Amino acid sequence: MSEQKLQARVYSRTAPTEEQLAQLRDFLHQKYQRPVNLHWERDDRMKDGFRLELGEGESRELVYDWSSSGKSRQLKDKIAAAIRSRSDVIPLLRKTLEDFQPEASATEIGTVLSYGDGIAEVSGLPGAEYGEILIFENGVRGMVLDLKEKSIGCVVFAGEAAVQAGSVVLRSGRSAGIPVGDAFLGRVIDPLGAPIDGKGKISESDYYPIEAPAPGIIDRQPVDKPMQTGLLAIDSMFPIGRGQRELIIGDRQTGKTAIALDTILNQKDQNVVCIYVAIGQKASSVAQLVQTLQEHDALRYTIVLCAAASDSATLQYIAPYAGCAMGEYFMHQGRDVLIVYDDLSKHAVAYRALSLLLKRSPGREAYPGDVFYLHSRLLERAAHLADHLGGGSMTALPIVETQAGDVSAYIPTNIISITDGQIFLESSLFFAGQRPAVNVGISVSRVGSAAQIKAMKQVAGKIKLELAQYREMASFAKFASDMDASTKRLISRGERLTELLKQPVYHPMPVAEEVVAIFAGVRGYLDKIEVSETADFENRALAEIRAAHEDFLREIDEKKVISEELDKKIGDFYAAFTDNYLADKRQKAA
């Protein structure tokens, strides 16, 4: 049986001589040890040189480019490699230019079979890798997201009609990534790292791949440093530690983003870098959030990465990974990072759209089978690194939207099982005026008191139990005509603690003030106050402590513990303040 001939075609503006064709046939025969069938085809686009392609039509795989553009591409790649490998680039660039000799190296080439809805099906490119950037002949870039036996599925970053069937595709040899650096702080960018706030170009310090393996167990250390949210209800009962993943879950319009934003505002002067990733949000909502950050002087330590609802599913899909890569840059410098993914339910929908366009069969509830891995490989990258890696941390606050409070739906249960706890916001509590509307029964932090300062542990130890008992008893109390004294006392305490935990939006509290505020509730100093006066009592007490007893707050901040002496001082203060408050009330009533 005769050996199959290698099909090759040479493109140039002028026809090659028979001697030149014979040299090319000899080169290919020696290279591939097969007989060669070589044809010439005119290409007026080539100013000089020639381009040699192997294979025909959709099966063409390799190209030898000996034109001026091909040689300049080789030179550009050599210079880029030289710059990456050395810091003193000027003499290196001079030597690279002096020593440059073009080489007859093969380049993989692909062809677009079809394009639509941001998905290009490409033949050829046998060495392409998952997540690699591909470059189309008009300069548009895409990312490999599907590897089949005879073709590749590529998501395209540009808009519609960006790519045409039959156009040439080249490999970049580079994984999808995002430019990173301190210059991005205070800016609003898209998932490709380009600024969208109109403030000009951003100078990058490095380039990080958007997909990276999560740190291993040896590279981590326990989560034991608090990430204060400034919210009484969370810091006292469901503390968040640096390196933790705490899910914020609830129906739409229940204050999920407000909790994340309060946490960002509370990091002012705490040396924490904050990253807010908006996935599928309205552009107007993101603009309003940026304005809020500016008004509270929080934008200077925050990066806002936005893939709006009007952006393609491709950009919405890569947005959280791009934000995570940006966070890893700071984490590997030994800094603490807080990243908010708002929200991952829209991220799952974007990935489902891409998967259906890539003709992947859907599984349970119409989501692709790997949707769990989609979020697990993202959230596992949040960590508190070991000291030998700098001790930096990245704390993740993913947000998920539920339908009618159903936490047993597919995406919510997936992310609940991945994270280290969840803060569940309940619609009925929200509409009843409880802000933040945290459900004490379903919410949990699996890190627990390990992420609290000792002073908070001392005062908040019983508050979750007392509130849970109150919620249970309050439902029975509606139908009970007569209650014993202990039940009345339990309900009375629960009502005041519930009022104490109410907090206006965008007003996070320093941890020392949180401690002294909860001290009043759990030690019974609010029991003599009317429920409706709890907020007024708390505000006036804190104002007096700031004015006359700042040493209370200073000692808690410095020592992180309430000593017996400080405990007595705070108790004496509240006893006297409560008597004065009640006396003022009686005097006004008289």
Catalytic annotation, residues: 446
Residue 402 DSSP code: -
Residue 344 host element (H or E):
helix 344-357
Residue with tokens 């002073």: 455
CA–CA separation, 270 vs 298, rounded Å? 11
For residue 100 the two structure tokens come to: 């440059």
Question: How far does the chain reach from its first CA to its final CA, in angstroms?
Answer: 115
Residue 191 host element (H or E):
none
CA–CA separation, 264 vs 231, rounded Å? 11
CA–CA separation, 534 vs 65, rounded Å? 78
Axis-axis angle for helices 534-548, 550-559 (nearest 10): 80
CA–CA separation, 312 vs 117, rounded Å? 9
Q: Write the CA distances from 166 to 120, 148, 163, 204, 528, integer angstroms.
A: 11, 19, 9, 35, 80
Angle, vertex CA 519, rays to CA 513 and CA 521, nearest 5: 115
What 3-state DSSP class applies to 356?
A: helix
Burial class (CB in 10 A: 0-12, 13-18, 19+), 545: buried
CA–CA separation, 153 vs 146, rounded Å? 4
For residue 283 the two structure tokens come to: 């552009």
User: What are the DSSP calls for 428-477, one per residue?
Assistant: HHHHTT-SS-B-TTT-EESSGGGGS-HHHHHHHTTHHHHHHHHHHHHHHH
Nearest of 294, 290, 314 to residue 304 by alpha carbon? 290
CA–CA separation, 288 vs 95, rounded Å? 52
